[in-house]
């Protein structure tokens, strides 16, 4: 069967809530089409080389720019990060019967994400458990491209150190959208293991198993890693106009 030109969005975010997790996460397995995924991956690949920041084992792009002291200089996202994703994010009602104008970013300062991190994970590479911090409104929308990967959710121990055993795992398929918010954003950490294969995947171990597009792909419990790219959409709370920055520096 051909991939439809537009994926059908859920009736509401509430209908795709990830069960058995602290409040709250939502998972939409088919948020963008294969064609849209291909186009975005091409745009990422054709970005000018200085756009890439090479970390020790992973590389990333930051759009429209890096934050400076947790502030973003006001600038639009490029059109290929804006459409179709931002428009589509704002089209999903929170609950059935809710105000059709309300959406996941209704209460965020700019009513929309204004910042995107592009993270590329080769096989064997992940990201240390961390919190996303205070620069952002506490909503993270992650679109996965190219391959599947497991995200681990961790809590802190009473002594303030990390509990390295995840409380739950979320499997992110290519073209999916994962939204994390509320306590899950503020109180818990998330990370990705440095492994060549995610293992022990099952209905018992994966919180969003019932929401997967294709759980049968993982029926042997394994996900051999391939290069996976993620787009992390967030609303940076503090935005400065470039003009006011210049005025400030001239006064010094």
Site residues, ligand AKG (CB under 6 A): 117, 119, 127, 132, 142, 151, 190, 230, 232
Q: How crowded is the C-beta side of 252, counted as CA atoms within 13 Å?
A: 5
Supply the DSSP string of 5-21, one letter for each residue.
Answer: SSPPPPS-GGGGBPSSS
CB of 154: closest distance to ligand AKG in angstroms? Answer: 12
CB of 231: closest distance to ligand AKG in angstroms? Answer: 9
Q: Which is nearer to ligand AKG, 223 or 230 (CB)?
A: 230
Q: Which is nearer to ligand AKG, 92 or 177 (CB)?
A: 177
d(CA 94, CA 22): 18
CB of 2: closest distance to ligand AKG in angstroms? Answer: 29
Cis peptide before 84 (omega within 30 of 0): yes
Q: Which is nearer to ligand AKG, 142 or 215 (CB)?
A: 142
> Closest CB to ligand AKG belongs to which residue?
230
Dihedral (CA of 102, 103, 104, 109) sign: negative
The phi and psi torsions of 251 (rounded to 5 degrees) equal -70, -20
CB of 95: closest distance to ligand AKG in angstroms? Answer: 26
Q: Which is nearer to ligand AKG, 81 or 151 (CB)?
A: 151
């Amino acid at each position: 069967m051909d991939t439809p030109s537009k994926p059908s969005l859920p009736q509401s975010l509430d209908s795709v809530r990830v069960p058995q997790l602290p409040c709250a996460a939502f998972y939409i397995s088919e948020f963008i089409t294969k064609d849209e995924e291909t186009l975005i991956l091409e745009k990422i690949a054709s970005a000018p080389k200085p756009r890439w920041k090479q970390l020790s084992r992973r590389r990333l792009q930051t759009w429209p720019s890096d934050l400076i002291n947790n502030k973003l200089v006001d600038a639009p996202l490029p059109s290929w990060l804006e459409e179709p994703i931002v428009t589509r994010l704002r089209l999903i009602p929170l609950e059935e019967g809710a105000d059709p104008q309300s959406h996941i970013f209704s209460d965020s300062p700019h009513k929309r994400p204004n910042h995107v991190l592009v993270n590329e994970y080769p096989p064997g590479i992940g990201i240390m458990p961390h919190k996303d911090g205070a620069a952002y409104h506490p909503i993270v929308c992650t679109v996965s491209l190219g391959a599947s990967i497991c995200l681990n959710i961790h809590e802190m121990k009473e002594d303030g150190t990390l509990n390295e055993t995840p409380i739950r795992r979320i499997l992110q398929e290519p073209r999916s959208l994962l939204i994390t918010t509320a306590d899950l954003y503020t109180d818990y950490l998330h990370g990705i293991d440095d492994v060549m294969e995610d293992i022990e995947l099952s209905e018992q171990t994966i919180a969003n198993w019932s929401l997967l597009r294709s759980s049968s792909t993982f029926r042997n419990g394994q996900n051999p890693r391939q290069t996976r790219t993620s787009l992390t959409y967030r609303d940076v709370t503090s935005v400065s106009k470039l003009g006011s920055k210049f005025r400030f520096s001239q006064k010094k």
